[in-house]
Amino acid sequence: MIVTLKNVRSFCNDHAIPLRPLTLLVGENSTGKSTFLAMLAQLSQPEFPSVRPTFNVPPFDLGTFDSIATFKGGRYGRADSFAVGFETEKRQITATYISYKGQPQLSSYLAKGRLGEVSLDVANEPSSVRVTIKPAGEGPRELNLDTQRVLPTEAGLSVAFLVRIAISESGRLAKDHFDEKMYSLAIDLSRSVVAPVFALAPIRTKPRRTYDEFSDEFKPEGDHIPVLLARLWQEEGNPQKALLVEALDDFGKKSGLFKQIGVKRLGKRPTDPFQILVTTAGPPANLPDVGYGVSQALPVVVQSVLANERRRLLLQQPEVHLHPRAQAALGSFLAKLVAMDKREFVIETHSDYLLDRIRLEVAQRNLRAKDVLILFFEKEGLETHVHQIRIDDDGNVTEAPESYRSFFLQEELTLFNRIKS
């Protein structure tokens, strides 16, 4: 899959950024890594694209149109529109947004597939929508929809919904001009096919001595993880529990963070309070009484194991509050899930230990080199450039720009020369 961006913050003009099963985003602060993740999360929303979307779905907060559209200053000013989309082997989708009362509003939508294309043009208000359907090798068919006549003006309208309404209205007026082929093409190309994602925040929830929540609904900060653990630990024979216990024990041992994770119920009912216990060298201790890194690593490990197969996870700095050994162990943990073809990850990281461990996993033939891609984000002035860096079968970094390691090499050289002098 390739993510396409145009005039999104520092992504000036057109960008086509590929993904692999394990994609690592590296670069200095404020180079666009989090913005890229936010746009990928937007593409993965079930309602993408919609007429008036919000680009502030937790844990991301891109703000208003003016904080999203590229601003170059001077005579260039701010871009009149910005676009986000994706390309796969089967289709290409682009959604373009303009400003409506300071908020992003869909201006146009274009989807191309092997059997044809579908486009949408939205009026400023938006009270008028034009849908164009063009099967491959045939002429276009235009459908016009007055949304004020059939829908509430402020409704959160998705492209898929608008296309269905336009087809329904047209079908009643001119059934002989609309066949099943056009209907199938329109419905297919009006919806996104990007799998939903789990996006974990860079700082996870603070550990607590006692938990009394009963909702396991996903939350980016990982507040739901203790509830998931408490429920699974009550279910003997649950295959998910067995899988999770094995993964936790293995990661805990290799990272040096813990030996075992347990749950202590403070009552007999499913909704009674409970505690998360962590076994290290001695008897089990309450979660807040062990290193802070355990509480930050648990959401990453648990959510990664329990996510549906082929579900993509977006991780921001999963190494936060982990010492080097644990950062490296996390690299092995993620590589193993990818190697088993069970998960896909896009990871924003500042950890050389995590990165180097993934390279080692490739060199040891535990992970295929073709499944890994490093995206190096570099900012020159106000513009971001994304360099694709690959890893060969021996774990070596290839096709890296000169600036990729320049800072770290300069630090080593400075230290070496100081010692030598």
pLDDT tens digits along 215-263 = 888 899 999 999 999 999 988 888 889 999 999 999 999 999 999 999 9
Same domain, 370 and 322: yes
Residue 118 to residue 111: CA distance in whole angstroms: 5
Structural domain ending residue among the three candidates 156, 189, 222? 189
Q: What is d(CA 82, CA 42) in angstroms, rounded to the nearest whole number?
A: 14
Residues 317 and 402 in one domain: yes
First to last CA, the chain: 51
Q: Are 177 and 141 in contact (CB under 8 A)?
A: yes
Select from 16, 5, 7 the least CA-distant residue to 77: 7
Confidence at residue 279, expressed as pLDDT on a 0 to 100 scale: 95
| 394 three-class SS | coil
Residues 65 and 164 in one domain: yes
Phi, psi of 298 (to 5 degrees): -55, -50
Helix (H) / strand (E) element for 186: namely helix 180-189
* Total domains in the fold of the chain: 3
Asked if 189 contacts 90 with a C-beta cutoff of 8 angstroms, the reply is no
224 and 324 co-located in one domain: no
Note whether 273 and 395 are same-domain residues. Answer: no
**pLDDT tier at 169, thresholds 50, 70, 90:** confident
Show the domain range for 70: 45-189
For residues 286 and 322, membership in a common domain is answered with no
In a domain, 7, yes or no: no
Phi, psi (deg, nearest 5) at residue 61: -145, 95
In a domain, 336, yes or no: yes
Instruction: Tell me how many degrees the CA angle 384-388-391 measures, rounded to the nearest 5.
Output: 150
Burial of residue 7 (CB within 10 Å: 0-12, 13-18, 19+) is buried
* Residue 116 within a domain: yes
Residue 305 lies in a domain: no
| Whole-Å CA distances, 52 to 58, 125, 143, 153, 369 | 17, 11, 21, 11, 40
pLDDT range class, residue 419, cuts 50, 70, 90: low
Rounded CA gap, 161 and 143, in Å? 14
Residue of 288, 292, 318 whose CA lies nearest to 59: 318
Quick one: 392 and 348 in the same domain? yes
Do residues 205 and 298 lie in contact, with contact meaning Cβ atoms separated by under 8 Å?
no
Instruction: Please check whether residue 14 lies inside any domain of the structure.
Output: no
pLDDT tens readout for residues 60-96:
999 999 999 998 777 778 999 999 999 998 899 999 9
Say what percent of the chain tops pLDDT 70: 91
Residue 52 sits in the same domain as residue 184: yes
How far is the C-alpha of 159 from the C-alpha of 217, rounded, in Å? 27
Containing 79, the helix (H) or strand (E) segment is none
175 within a domain of the structure (yes/no): yes
**Pair 180, 210 in one domain:** no
Confirm whether 40 is domain-assigned: no
Token pair for 22: 């394990």
pLDDT digits (tens, 9 = 90+) for 329-382: 999 999 999 998 778 999 999 999 999 999 999 999 999 999 999 999 999 888
Looking at the structure, do residues 136 and 235 belong to the same domain, yes or no? Answer: no
Domain end, chosen from 299, 318, 342, is at 299
Mean pLDDT across the chain, nearest whole number?
Answer: 88
Q: 58 with 184, same domain?
A: yes
Q: What is the pLDDT of residue 152?
A: 59
Is 214 found in the same domain as 118? no
pTM above 0.85, yes or no: yes
Q: Which of 395, 390, 399, 394 is nearest to 20 (CA)?
A: 390
In this structure, what token pair is assigned to residue 416? 């070496």
Q: Give pLDDT, residue 308.
A: 76
Identify which of 2-11, 114-123, 163-172, 177-186 has the greatest average pLDDT.
2-11
Give yes or no for residue 310 having a pLDDT over 80. no
Among the candidates 189, 221, 241, a domain finishes at 189
Structural domain includes residue 8: no
**Looking at the predicted structure, is the pLDDT value of residue 406 above 60?**
yes
